[in-house]
Copies of this chain bind each other. A is one copy, B any other.
């Protein structure tokens, strides 16, 4: 990415893929799935989210190829089929942790240092 020229179309695809992850609700669903399989109803309970909302998000993620789906009678089971999602999330989480830590330290220095340097 750093070195390549990306077409508008490619940029749109990449952006919309990130758009899928840019939603707390969808992340909550993905997080609640982990690498297990759950039915829509179970996911509704686990995420404490409206059924219609869950169903729509699941469809969206399925259509994007991030989830796989299996029907059994009335119930539909979903599972994360794209493991790279978790890799990406982990990178972001680590990075956020770093940032927060850095800020935390900067803040600490900000409120403690002046006193000391002034004595």
Q: Report Cα–Cα, A88/B17, bound state, in Å.
A: 11
Q: Report Cα–Cα, A86/B92, bound state, in Å.
A: 11
Chain B contacts of A4 at CB under 8 A? Answer: 31
- On chain A, the number of residues with a Cβ less than 8 Å from chain B's Cβ atoms is 43
Which of A8-16, A37-45, A54-62, A70-78 is the interface stretch? A8-16
| A3 with B34: CB separation less than 8 A | yes
Given the contacts A24-B8, A28-B6, A34-B3, A14 and B86 also touching, CB distance less than 8 Å:
no
Binding site for B on A (CB under 8 A): 1-6, 8, 10-19, 21-24, 26-28, 30-31, 34-35, 65, 82, 84, 86-96, 99
